[in-house]
Chains A and B, each alone.
Chain A
Amino acid sequence: MVALGVLALMALASLLAPLYAHDVAHTDPFASNVAGTIMLDGREVDIMQPNDNPLHLGLSPIGPTWRAAYLLGADSQGRDVAARLLYGGRNSLLIAAGAAVLCLLLAGVAGIAAGFLGGVVDTLLSRLMDIMWAVPVYLFAISLSIVMVSQSVRLGPFVLHADSLLIPVFIIALVYVPYAARPIRGRVLALRQAEFVTAARGLGVPVWRIMLRDILPNLATTLVMLGPLVMALALLAESALSFLSLGVQAPQASWGTIIQDGEGLIYTRPMVAIAPGLAIVIVVLALNILGDGLRDALDVRDSGRRAS
């Protein structure tokens, strides 16, 4: 329950960012602000400050001010990290949730088709999943990203621009399909043997109707259980892709890109990288706890066996 609360809070804070972040930060989180200044203790302070080395060579962005503006300091382009964190979280969460939904949709279709139709369809789909699974997930995602991010992709009438947020959604959903399709297929196989399905077949109910009316509602628990877990994986994958500049493209932000921004500043201004990382850990942990709780609550097999 705590997990759910944390999750809701993070999601709300991030999703509503466009409404309030500007009033708090007073700067544009997407525009460079290297020459900017802010008021601290009544003094005007440069956002880019001279380094502490003896010769004061080079400039470092300001550290955490612990005030509304530049709460967590600035990144190398003088942008407010806290504000970017909120906008970035919005992208990260939207992409992760979108990818999870799309992934479950695809996996659901594949799993139902494989499990219910069986035979050649099952063999083909299962082999396809094996093949996809053989490519390490991140490498697969990277390969797809590099192809799609380097130029726009035209799929029939749809054009995906290289900086579209739909690209990471699509890629992450695709690479985790085998992960989700396997348990769904197993569940469908079990359901197919169930008596109510046998009965429906015996009564001559058409296949598509059995799928929709009998199989799908019973799959709901499996899908609900997988949801948070897939979203947790998707969020991690998104941050990894963005960290490698293959996910969310500048000037848009996501937690992964902010970590990347912070990489160069890790020794001088660690907060730039630490804050988004912590955000990821908290959200993913909450999702995992949620998924765990759902599994315990929904999985009847696990609940107590007792000797007679």
Chain B
Amino acid sequence: MMAALLRRTGQTVLVLFGVSVLVFGVFFATPGADPTARIAGRNAAPQVMEKVRHEYGFDRPLPVQYAIMMKKLFITRDLASYTNRGQAVVPEIMRAAPVTASLVCGAAVLWVTVSIFMGTLAAAMKDTWVDRGLMMLGLVGISIPVFWLGQVANLVTQSRYHDTWLFSWVPGLGYVPFAQDPLGWFRALVIPWVVLAVMFIGIYSRVLRHDLVALAGEDFMRTARAKGLSPMRVLLRHGLRTSMVTFVSLFGLDFAQLAGGGALLTEVVFGLPGVGRLTYRALTMLDLPVIMATVMYSAIFVVLANAVVDVVYLFLDPRVRDAR
């Protein structure tokens, strides 16, 4: 077990390195473009260009540039935005992170509970209209672009039906820090949570149902029934518990991707000042250092989360525990 953990750590470090090289490469080593101009911003003065070139070492070989960039990101943390009057990027990300975390955690709670319920119900009522209806609903959920759903939700809750009893509690777009007003925090986030969760509810309930139905043909499910257990217990304690292994690995990936900035579109539509919207703002200003920093931050987050998922896996599936 110890050796397995060590090996996993080694792999993680390797992937982290790879990711940082990839992101660096995408931004600063694409052929036929001068990164200096990109960092300095559009129509920058020649002195600024010169300063940038020197600061980032663009007159030196690529590995040196990479090293400088990593140092600015992680050690001195003074990577700064040029288009936005030298605002430091790293603290900005740290400020935005709680917003993203609030959004993604709430949505995750929602999508996990709802999809477990939907998937299990569909599997239990396999081949009935309930099953077909739920699965079609899931498919629709997967097919809706999240930013559009967000707009429609805004239209309904902010404008068209805002004055009815149903949605009069919905506050205007924006974020309320939890520490400042827990109830306000909740009310500001409910609609974004639902909108963000819709697609994942679709994916997860379908995956779970597929898994459970496939498991129903397994020998151990037959054993469980032959033991005289109730159908409910067979489905939940034996089927669902075994399915959780796939479920958790899927969840780890998606959660990390979202927390790392994948919720960008939702944040933009609902005006939530999270990491995603930070990226978006930088995007509209072509502010490369900020974009690169957020992408790097999210990739690192994903890699680390994957490592955590693998460890959780060890606890969930005894087979994996011994296999290494």
Q: Do chains A and B touch in the complex (CB under 8 A)?
A: yes
| Residues in A lying within 8 Å of B, measured CB to CB | 127-128, 130-132, 134-140, 142-144, 146-148, 150-155, 232, 236, 239-240, 243-246, 256, 259, 262-263, 266-267, 270, 273-274, 276-277, 280-281, 284-285, 287-289, 292, 302, 305
Are the CB atoms of B155 and A270 closer together than 8 Å? yes
Are the CB atoms of A136 and B143 closer together than 8 Å? no
Are the CB atoms of A244 and B283 closer together than 8 Å? yes
Q: Which residue of A lies closest to B199 (CB)?
A: A236
What separation, in Å, do the CA atoms of A127 and B17 have in the docked complex? 11
Q: Does B36 contact A (CB under 8 A)?
A: no
Task: Looking at the assembled complex, report how far the CB atom of A258 sits from the nearest CB atom of chain B, in whole angstroms.
Answer: 10
Are the CB atoms of A146 and B291 closer together than 8 Å? yes
**In the assembled complex, which residues on chain A have CB atoms less than 8 Å from the CB atom of B14?**
127
- Main SS class of interface, B: helix
Are the CB atoms of A134 and B306 closer together than 8 Å? yes
**In the assembled complex, which residues on chain A have CB atoms less than 8 Å from the CB atom of B268?**
244
Q: Does B33 contact A (CB under 8 A)?
A: yes
Are the CB atoms of B31 and A155 closer together than 8 Å? yes
Chain B 140-158, CB within 8 Å of chain A: the 1/0 string? 1011111111011011001
Are the CB atoms of A143 and B143 closer together than 8 Å? no
Most A CB contacts (10 A, CB to CB) among B30, B143, B279 go to: B143
**In the assembled complex, which residues on chain B have CB atoms less than 8 Å from the CB atom of A236?**
143, 145
Q: Which of B19-27, B49-57, B187-195, B238-246 lies at the binding interface?
A: B19-27
Task: Looking at the assembled complex, report how far the CB atom of A28 sits from the nearest CB atom of chain B, in whole angstroms.
Answer: 26
Q: Does B133 contact A (CB under 8 A)?
A: no
- A135-B298, A285-B139 given; 18 more Cβ-contact pairs under 8 Å: A131-B15, A131-B18, A135-B22, A138-B264, A142-B264, A142-B279, A143-B295, A146-B288, A152-B32, A239-B145, A240-B265, A243-B265, A276-B148, A277-B152, A280-B145, A287-B143, A288-B142, A288-B143
Q: Which residue of A lies closest to B154 (CB)?
A: A266
Q: Which residue of B lies closest to A238 (CB)?
A: B145
Q: Which of B177-185, B223-231, B255-263 lies at the binding interface?
A: B255-263
Given A146-B283, A259-B148, A266-B154, verify A137-B257 contact (CB < 8 Å).
yes
Are the CB atoms of B147 and A243 closer together than 8 Å? yes
Contact of B302 among A135, A150, A243 (CB under 8 A): A135
- Chain B interfacial residues counted at CB < 8 A: 54
**In the assembled complex, which residues on chain B have CB atoms less than 8 Å from the CB atom of A136?**
257-258, 260-262, 298-299, 302
Task: Looking at the assembled complex, report how far the CB atom of A275 sits from the nearest CB atom of chain B, in whole angstroms.
Answer: 11
Given A240-B145, A243-B147, A284-B143, verify A153-B26 contact (CB < 8 Å).
no
Task: Looking at the assembled complex, report how far the CB atom of A288 sits from the nearest CB atom of chain B, in whole angstroms.
Answer: 5
Q: Which residue of B lies closest to A283 (CB)?
A: B143
Contact of B261 among A139, A144, A267, A305 (CB under 8 A): A139
**In the assembled complex, which residues on chain A have CB atoms less than 8 Å from the CB atom of B299?**
134-136, 139
Q: Does B217 contact A (CB under 8 A)?
A: yes
What separation, in Å, do the CA atoms of A276 and B298 have in the docked complex? 30
Are the CB atoms of B279 and A139 closer together than 8 Å? yes
Task: Looking at the assembled complex, report how far the CB atom of B192 sits from the nearest CB atom of chain A, in whole angstroms.
Answer: 16
**In the assembled complex, which residues on chain B have CB atoms less than 8 Å from the CB atom of A140?**
26, 295
Q: Which residue of A lies closest to B288 (CB)?
A: A146
